[in-house]
Amino acid sequence: MRAYKSGVLLIVVLTLGAWPVGAQETEAVEATPYVAIGSAEAPPVGAAVTFPLTSKLSVETDVAYRRGEGRIHALSSSTSLLYALPRVGQSTPYVGAGVGLSQYGAPVFSSNGPPVGTESRVALTVNAGGGLKMPMNRALDLRTDARWFKSFGRQGSEQFRVAQGISFDVGKR
């Protein structure tokens, strides 16, 4: 729980610290459909929408789907702050952290011990990581994102995910 409180405090401090520069130039809202590989059994597919707050700071919402444990169709959703680092050539590296909810399958045990099925549960998650955006043309960016996820609860877990997607503008802020 201490890590969760520290993560929330960090997000609030970064957001409030960037607020005075909000009048600077901002970029367009971006959508990024992606596919990922990682430490979970089934690779997720999803989409992220990034809303710029300043030229360096953005809020990202993410929704993903994976085939979960048993017959669970697991959805997850998170909100993260992304901070753009100085450009490297044409590419823009970034770091990010956030919180969200993740669905998973918890084992259901019979009275004599062995599992007999799974039950859908939801856990609070935190994430941290970073990535790289590389322009393909004026309208599209290739985006690679690596994140660590920690879920809390009785069957909490840690996972790592690398996602690859194409970002495109969906409107000006």
Look at residue 35 and tell me whether its pLDDT is greater than 90.
Answer: yes
Question: What is the C-alpha to C-alpha distance for residues 127 and 137, in angstroms, rounded to an integer?
Answer: 30
For Cα atoms 121, 165, 17, give the angle at the middle one, nearest 5 degrees: 75
- Each residue's pLDDT tens digit, 55-66: 999 999 999 998
pTM of the model: 0.75
Q: How far is C-alpha 171 from the chain's CA centre?
A: 21
The confidence score (pLDDT) of residue 16 equals 46
Domains in the chain (CATH in brackets) are 2-171 (2.40.160.20)
Query: Over the stretch 94-139, which tens digit does the pLDDT of each residue have?
Result: 999 999 998 876 666 777 777 666 667 788 999 999 999 999 998 8
Q: Does residue 125 contact residue 152 with C-beta atoms inside 8 Å?
A: yes
